[in-house]
A = this chain, B = another copy of it.
Amino acid sequence: MPHLVILYTPQLDKETNIDVLCRSLANTMLAARDEKDEAVFPPGGTRVLAFPATHYAVADDGSAGRAAGGNGDYAFVYLQLRMANGRSSATHASVGDALLKTTRTHFADIFEKRHIGITLQIDEGAPAYDAKHSNLHPLFTKA
């Protein structure tokens, strides 16, 4: 942990650069500070992975969207951050708000042009087993 997984409808790949979104969100995570002004996430443990769905169905058959002047094709983006448990509610709120702001900014133009829903959730993990094997963390802990 932490990692942020993005599941989304694939038509968005033609409308925006999700690589850029991933980097923006990773940067947002790297910049997050808690109440003690300490970094919330370790750089070597910050990961954002995005997966376009191969098949999908969102809302109705498109009737409502067409009636409202759209093309009846709805987009959806689900962002789920899983982080270690034990953080404060204030940290959850500030991290969530910062990620939501980054996401809204990224999709601002698209939001004006098409029907789209975005959901962002943070889950606290409490795994029954948790192990790491990494040579990334030492990159960021050098003197």
Contacts and interface: CB of A to CB of B under 8 A. Distances in A.
Interface of A: 1, 3, 5-9, 13, 18-19, 21-23, 25-26, 30, 43-61, 64-65, 67-68, 74, 76, 78, 81, 83, 87, 89, 92-93, 95-97, 100, 103-104, 107, 111, 115-125, 127-137, 139-140
B76 A49 contact: yes
B7 A49 contact: yes
Contact of A100 (B78, B107, B123, B131): B131
The A interface is mostly helix, strand or loop, or mixed, namely mixed
A121 B5 CA distance: 15
6 contacts: A43-B64, A49-B78, A50-B56, A58-B136, A64-B140, A81-B129
A1 B119 contact: yes
B124 A128 contact: yes
Contact of A120 (B60, B97, B123, B131): B131
Contacts of A131: 96-97, 100, 119-121
A128 B123 contact: yes
Contact of A55 (B9, B18, B64, B81): B18
